[in-house]
């Protein structure tokens, strides 16, 4: 029995290698996300280039009549530009709330600042957009952008300071709706 438990534990640790989990908060919002580096499981794909993830965002929109959490499943393929500190990625997401579903396409950019300091710092930005043909239920389009500063204080432990803007345009009387527009702080852990 002990051998089985050890084998399962070792397998779980191996499966969690090169993955990340993060939590972002402010006074009104909670965001949880996790990413799995699926490139590590395929010999034909470089590690840290292909990611599958999930996100949960509970944003306080009670003043605007929509207090539904946002659920997301995402896929990102990225590549580091040779001889630079820049990585560029293309991604797709499936977003779900009680009122709408969208399938936005987007671009992710990460720039690692030159290593002149002891603490590694990166700047990350992304933009995702779903026009009417990729917006379902009550949504007529979806737009999301985000900017983050990532500071790796300890090995595989990051502090994040960021800003996000998520907007959904509805077909009904709500029209242009800002789902969330806020700054946040958080932690990200890599395994």
Task: Return the CATH number at 124.
Answer: 2.40.128
Q: What is the pTM (predicted TM-score) of this model?
A: 0.85
Do residues 53 and 34 lie in contact, with contact meaning Cβ atoms separated by under 8 Å?
yes
Q: What is the pLDDT of residue 64?
A: 57
Q: How many domains, in total, are found in the chain?
A: 1
Q: Nearest-CA neighbor of 117 among 91, 152, 68, 159?
A: 152
Residue whose token pair is 């990460």 = 110
The domain in which residue 51 lies consists of 2-190
pLDDT digits (tens, 9 = 90+) for 22-50: 999 999 899 999 999 887 777 777 767 88
């Amino acid at each position: 029995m002990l051998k089985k438990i050890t084998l399962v534990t070792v397998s779980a640790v191996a499966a969690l290698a090169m993955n990340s989990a993060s939590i972002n908060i402010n006074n009104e919002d909670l965001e949880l996300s996790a990413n799995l580096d699926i490139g590590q499981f395929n010999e034909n794909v470089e590690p840290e280039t292909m990611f599958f993830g999930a996100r949960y965002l509970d944003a306080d929109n009670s003043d605007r009549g929509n207090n539904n959490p946002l659920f997301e499943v995402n896929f990102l393929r990225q590549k580091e530009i040779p001889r630079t500190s820049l990585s560029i990625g293309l991604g797709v997401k499936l977003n779900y709330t009680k009122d709408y579903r969208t399938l936005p396409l987007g671009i992710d950019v990460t720039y690692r600042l030159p290593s002149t300091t002891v603490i590694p710092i990166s700047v990350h930005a992304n933009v995702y957009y779903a026009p009417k043909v990729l917006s379902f239920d009550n949504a007529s389009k979806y737009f999301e952008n985000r900017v983050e500063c990532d500071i790796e204080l300890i090995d595989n432990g990051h502090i994040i300071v960021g800003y996000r803007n998520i907007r959904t345009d509805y077909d009904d009387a709500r029209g242009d709706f800002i789902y969330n527009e806020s700054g946040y702080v958080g932690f990200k852990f890599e395994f």
